[in-house]
Structure 1
């Protein structure tokens, strides 16, 4: 779950696993896989960072990403 801020200033907690897309339109619009859309104050990079942190915290992604080129060196 990630905490975001709606345009009216109220916080909303979103299930990051349900996010289908994040658009910069000029406000940030989040679309869930359910089709529900909402606008938030955070920028796209901020939302992506929060989602990545959440995914790392539940063990779905590693904290470090190795380049394919550096493997086997």
Structure 2
């Protein structure tokens, strides 16, 4: 999950795997695969950076599990 901020300054977490598109004109809008939209304060590049960081952490955790022999945690 990544944390983003609505225009009213409330923060919420969103699953980045469910983001279909990101628009910035001028507000940043997240368009989800189910058609829901969220307008957020963060610039588009910052949202992209958060998604990249999230995915990097997921891959690092999977790699750590594999190295430690906890393959069931990675697969199942």
What's the TM-score once normalised by structure 2's chain length?
0.76
| Greater helix proportion | 2
Structure 2: state its 5+ residue gaps.
61-76
State the Cα RMSD in Å. 1.1
Deviations 1:17-47 (A, max 9, x none): 0000000020000001011001000000000
Structure 1: state its 5+ residue gaps.
61-73
What's the TM-score once normalised by structure 1's chain length?
0.79
Structure 1 runs (4+) deviating above 6 angstroms are none
Q: Residue in 1 aligned with 2:47?
A: 47
Whole-Å separation in 2 of the counterparts to 1:56 and 1:34: 25
2:8 corresponds to 1:13: no
